[in-house]
């Protein structure tokens, strides 16, 4: 157990880097929502497709709790899929040069990525 704790402490990213990862990844998620809104308007105005427009309109009317829940779900899906398909990295981690690894410094499994991101 002490060996595992030592490995974790030696390879743990500093709090400032972890904050930078979170802020960068949050910007990516906010950009996703912005792009979704722009795409919905373009599809509605030029092609007459209103499904995405109606969805974005519905999103704009949800309450604060539902907004936090939906945004958290989108952030979870983003972080989980990015880390899984890029072997431990998100956009923020790419920029700061960090990576998610297991306690034995090996690549995480699918279940470990899922548990890591849901917690």
Domain range list for the chain: 14-118
**Which distant-in-sequence residues (6+ apart) come within 8 Å of 86 by Cβ?**
94
What integer pLDDT is reported at residue 94 of this predicted model? 95
Start-end of H helices in the chain: 2-11, 15-42, 51-60, 64-85, 91-96, 110-118
Query: How sure is the predictor about 105, in pLDDT bands with cuts at 50, 70 and 90?
Result: confident
Q: pTM (2 decimals)?
A: 0.83
Quick one: pLDDT at residue 2? 65
Residue 65 · residue 53 · CB < 8 Å? no
Q: Report the candidate in 101, 107, 103, 102 with the shortest Cα–Cα distance to residue 5.
A: 103
- Are 93 and 100 in contact by the 8 Å Cβ rule? The answer is yes
> How would residue 102 be classed by pLDDT, with cut points 50, 70 and 90?
confident
Interval 32-51: pLDDT, tens: 999 999 999 999 999 999 99
């Amino acid at each position: 157990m002490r060996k595992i704790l030592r490995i974790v402490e030696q390879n743990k990213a500093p709090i400032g880097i972890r904050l930078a990862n979170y802020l960068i990844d949050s910007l990516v998620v906010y950009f996703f929502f912005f792009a979704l809104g722009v795409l919905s308007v373009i599809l509605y105005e030029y092609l007459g497709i209103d499904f995405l427009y109606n969805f974005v309109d519905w999103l704009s009317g949800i309450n604060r709790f539902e907004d936090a829940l939906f945004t958290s779900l989108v952030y979870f899906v983003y972080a989980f899929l990015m880390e899984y398909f890029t072997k431990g990295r998100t956009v923020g981690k790419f920029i700061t040069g960090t990576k998610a690894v297991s306690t034995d410094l090996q690549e995480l499994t699918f279940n470990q990525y899922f548990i890591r991101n849901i917690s």
